[in-house]
Structure 1
Amino acid sequence: MTAWQSRLCAQIDQINDSLIEFRRSLHRNPEVSGEEFQTSLTLYQILGDLGLSVRMGPDGRGVIADLDTFDQEGSSVIALRGDIDALPIHDCKDVPYCSQKEGIMHACGHDAHTTVVLGAAQALQQLARNGELPWPIRARFIFQPAEEICTGARDMIKAGALEDVSAIIATHMEPGLPFGKVGFRKGELTASCEEIWIKIHGSSGHGARPYEANDPIAAAAQLINTLYLALPRVTQTHEAVVASFGQIHGGASPNVIPETVELQGTLRTLLPQTRLDTIRHIHRIADGIAMATQTQIEVKFDLGTDAVRNDSNLIDLLKENCVEFMGMPSVHEIPRASMGGEDFAFYLDHVPGAMIRLGCATPGTSNWPMLHSTNFDIDERVLAFGANLLARSTVAALEPGSRWQDQLLTPRSPTHHDSPLD
């Protein structure tokens, strides 16, 4: 371990207790997507007190903080992203830091993601003040709102979060791994996720005489069943597709066939072409059901987020620093992509990025509560560990003359999502 890495470890050890208390404070006082005002204000004040250059995100939600130890303009920036919003889930844990807000909790680890990035910012700023950084760095710390509703990343990008940024890194809690393990995967890490909205127009009638009506409920039942059965049969077996419906609305009386039924669900895929092909299949199946049931079926898609596709060079950087810090046993190769969605993908439209998954279950504990569980929690040792890994990876990425300079800090042309088919 080099001198600066030893000082980094010592600095994070000093702030470990404050990181735990900060995370617990966030856990006690969660704010759902779109309402992260107090969380943002608290972060703004803490980061400003550290001496970082700080600005608030749009509408007083989200924070962007910068650390720059270069003497000249135009150097590359490494960004670290944490998300700050909570979920509308009731916290059932019996712990002193249980959520104090009825029906709201940090059930996806965003309080931990935020704390990890804050810890990296605190440690790097202190090393800079002490003159203990091995070379100049430019780091940006992005605390993003509204990840759960897939609007926060785009809002922060519009607010300038990626200006001068060459690469971006994020973490996600992983209750399926014990503390001390880090999940790495090159390429697709999560799926693209978009909402499916379907409206079926029929004709109403008496429940005793369905032959006098065109029943949209019967059409809805056929459509859902056909989609669930047919989509796997028209998708190549090595490609993943998940279509699920979570809402059905129709009718107001048990003996009246309604005029309309509305369905809402999600479509998740990993590859762009698979997504487009699946959308076409859904339209084709809907048209067939409409003809068979003499109804009209509208189908619309609204892209929530594209797949997170990890940059291979950034994964190599993070893995190398993880091994230096914790040894090879800490590395867990993620065998397949998750079908969950993550709006971190929007940053990757503009710059290379990588998300790693930090094991947060206490080792030796069985049945650890999973993400979005009413009992979700973390082994709090992951906070200092994650902060250390992000901080040392940021410094390593900016080492003059290193291989990372060419691999990570060369600008690339932005990419764009394919437009969904209406």
Structure 2
Amino acid sequence: MIERAWQSELAAMISAQEAKWIDFRRRLHQNPEPSGHEYQTSLAIYQELNSIGVELRMGPEGRGVLADWRTPHLEEVGQAVAIRGDIDALRIHDQKDVPYRSQCAGLMHACGHDAHATMALWATSLIVELDRAGALPWPVHLRSIFQPAEETCAGALEMISVGALKGVREIFATHVDPTLPTGRIGLRVGALTASCDAVRILIHGQGGHGARPHESRDPIAAAAQLINALYLSIPRVTDSQDAVVLTFGQIHGGENLNVIPEQVELLGTLRTLDAGVRQRTIDHIHRIAEGVQRATDTTIEVRFEVGTSAVINQAGAVSQLKCAIVESFGHEAIYEIPRASMGGEDFAFYLDHVPGAMARLGCRAPSLERAPLLHSPLFDIDESVLAIGARILASAVIHAFEPKEPHERP
């Protein structure tokens, strides 16, 4: 592994600054804000970026931040390459016994967004410092996107609506992964995560006395039949080579143990990796609901609310990430992800407009055989992953602007 001069400078900066950025991540971790309320988090990021002198814009309603850096004194650098870090937390109570545990009851960064934001912020700072020091090998144009509301699949669309991708030709992101040890970096061309649609089903019946169900049209009985039919039939009508997951996580209906209610509501998610499979599954859910509706003499409304499509990593962007990883950490750091995750990620919305890729960063301390998973109240990261993520993002952006013609490298 031959390290170029700018990489040596980058590595030295990272080593000198690591303590600062670990502290910044811990401050975010202690002060989580849920989707739609990321005001103080956005302000903290804005203030940090303002201190390094980049061009700044706030996101909608003061949530989220957009930052631009162009190599100075050049008339035209071209379109930007973007990096994205999400900033919202989850409504989960932090149960870790660490000094930096969440100070907000019922809220915590259980999906690593504090780490993602810190990596993107640190990478931005590194590129600016390298450029001002004259250490970059060629000019760059960086767009840094600090996005709210990833967990509700609303934030990416909000940021896109205010111009986050205007003038952007490519985008990169990271996501921590506690199933991999720190230092291992997962890459995959094609589908990385699943599409995720919210499913809302309303079953209208006729209420009555629990002792005389024959006088009512029981929506609870219809709900039981519908869930059972869907769970049994979806796998039987789906090609075994195609991934589909339908899960109901909420059932609401009734207020008294001896009263059959008028209505039951089911809430869940549908996850697929292929647009065609997605539509066929939606059609089949409607057909099953119609059948149960006739059999139970109820009225069933099925609604699919706005979700996110699958994250599809583009081959060229993955190649750029791989180059940055190999030059920084060697081939042995790369983990070829064998199959997509059925989790959802609204990074997919950016990829609907521009090519890009997301890398999964191992964040499990190597001394541990297992670590708490994402969305666990005990979730945490091995903080050395912050330096890895910042270096990958900064290096990928720099590589993206490497001239196509032969270039004398420093």
TM range (shorter): over 0.9
- The percentage of aligned residue pairs carrying the same residue is 59
Name whichever of 10-19 and 67-76 sits farther off: 67-76
Amino acid at match of 1:7: E
1:275 to 251, 273, 278: 278
Report what 1:346 is aligned to: 349
Describe the SS at the equivalent of 2:347.
helix
Residues in 2 aligned to 1:290 and 1:211: alpha-carbon distance in whole angstroms: 16
Alpha-carbon distance in 2 for matches of 1:247, 1:184: 34
Shift of 1:210: 1.1
Superposed displacement of residue 393, structure 1: 1.1
Is 1:393 aligned to residue 396 of structure 2? yes
Match of 2:212 in 1: 209
Task: Write the mapping of 1:109-128 to structure 2, written as runs, cut at 5 A.
Answer: 109-128=112-131
1:332 aligns with 2:335: yes
Please give the root-mean-square deviation of Cα atoms over the aligned residues, in Å.
1.1
What is the DSSP-based 3-state SS (H/G/I as helix, E as strand, rest coil) of the residue aligned with 1:377? coil
TM-score, normalised with respect to structure 1 = 0.94
* Structure 1: distance between partners of 2:69 and 2:79: 12
Write the distance in 2 (CA, Å) between the matches of 1:39 and 1:210: 53
Equivalence map 1:11-30=2 (5 Å): 11-30=13-32
Cα deviation per residue 1:135-170 (whole Å; 9 max; x = unaligned)? 100011110001001110001011111111000000
Distance 1:402 1:355, change over 3 A: farther
Q: Which residue of 1 aligns with 2:92?
A: 89
Please, what TM-score do these two structures have when normalized by structure 2?
Answer: 0.97
The equivalent of 1:196 in structure 2 is 199
Structure 1 residue 11, shift from structure 2 partner: 1.2
Runs of 4+ in structure 1 deviating by more than 2 angstroms, as ranges, are none
Write the distance in 2 (CA, Å) between the matches of 1:251 and 1:90.
28
Whole-angstrom CA distance in 2 between matches of 1:252 and 1:317: 56
CA distance in 1, matches of 2:327, 2:117: 24
Matched, 1:53 2:49: no
Partner residue of 1:412? Answer: none
Residue 376 of structure 2 is aligned with which of 373, 376, 389? 373
TM-superposed CA distance for 1:324, in Å, is: 1.5
Task: Say whether the 8 Å CA contact 2:71–2:77 is kept in structure 1.
Answer: no
Partners of 1:378 and 1:258 lie apart in 2 by 46
**Structure 2 equivalent of residue 38 of structure 1:** 40
Structure 2 residue runs without a partner (length 5+):
none
1:318 is aligned to 321
Aligned residue in 2 for 1:289: 292
What do the CA deviations read for 1:43-77 (whole angstroms, capped 9, x no partner)? 11110110111111110010011110161236021
Q: Provide closer, same or farther for how the CA distance between residues 13 and 402 of structure 1 changes in structure 2, counting only shifts above 3 A.
A: farther
Please name the residue that 1:7 is paired with: 9
Rounded Cα–Cα distance in structure 1 between residues aligned with 2:80 and 2:228: 50
Q: Within 2, Cα distance between the matches of 1:229 and 1:303? A: 25
Could you report, residue by residue, the CA deviation over 1:293-317 in whole angstroms, capped at 9, with x for unpaired residues? 1111111101311110001111111
C-alpha distance 178-6 of structure 1, shift in aligned 2 (>3 A):
same
SS at match of 1:338: coil
Q: For the residues of structure 1 that align with 2:160 and 2:136, how far apart are their CA atoms?
A: 29
Counterpart AA for 2:155: G
Rounded to whole Å, the distance in 2 between the matches of 1:10 and 1:74 is 26
Structural mapping, 1:181-192, within 5 Å: 181-192=184-195
Amino acid aligned to 2:390: A
1:277-332 alpha-carbon deviations (Å, 9 max, x no partner): 00000000000001111111111101311110001111111112211211111110
2: CA distance, partners of 1:391 / 1:354: 14
Task: State the Cα distance separating 1:244 from its structure 2 match.
Answer: 0.6
Once the two structures are superposed, residues 5-61 of structure 1 have per-residue CA deviations (whole angstroms, 9 ceiling, x without a partner) of 111111111211111000001001111111111111111111011011111111001
The 5 Å alignment of 1:292-303 reads: 292-303=295-306
* AA partner of residue 52 (structure 2): L
Instruction: Name the amino acid aligned to 1:236.
Output: D
SS in 2 for 1:10: helix
Q: Distance in 2 between matches of 1:137 and 1:204?
A: 66
* C-alpha deviation, 1:402, in angstroms: 5.8
Q: Is the 8 A contact 2:211 2:258 kept in 1?
A: yes
Q: Structure 1 CA distance, aligned partners of 2:307 and 2:362?
A: 26
1:213-257 deviations in Å (ceiling 9; x for gaps): 111100000000010000000001100111111111111211111
In structure 2, how many angstroms separate the alpha carbons of the residues matched to 1:267 and 1:19? 37
The alignment of Structure 1 onto Structure 2 pairs a total of residues equal to 403
Please tell me whether the aligned partners of residues 55 and 65 of structure 1 are also in contact (alpha carbons under 8 angstroms): yes
Q: Give the secondary structure class of the aligned counterpart of 1:265.
A: strand
| C-alpha distance in structure 2 between counterparts of 1:402 and 1:273, whole Å | 41
**2: CA distance between counterparts of 1:74 and 1:133?**
13
Task: Give the partner amino acid of 2:30.
Answer: R
In the alignment, residue 16 of structure 1 is paired with which amino acid?
E
Structure 1 residue aligned with 2:173, among 170, 175, 178?
A: 170
Contact 1:203 1:215 in 2 (8 A): yes
SS in 2 for 1:343: coil
Equivalent AA in structure 2 for residue 163 of structure 1: K
Match of residue 80 from structure 1: 83
- Partners in 1 of 2:315 and 2:172 — Cα distance? 12
CA 1:15–1:302: 2 relative to 1, 3 Å: same
Q: Secondary structure in 2 aligned to 1:122?
A: helix
Is the Cα contact below 8 Å between 1:74 and 1:164 reproduced in 2? Answer: no
Give, in angstroms, the shift of residue 367 of structure 1.
Answer: 2.3
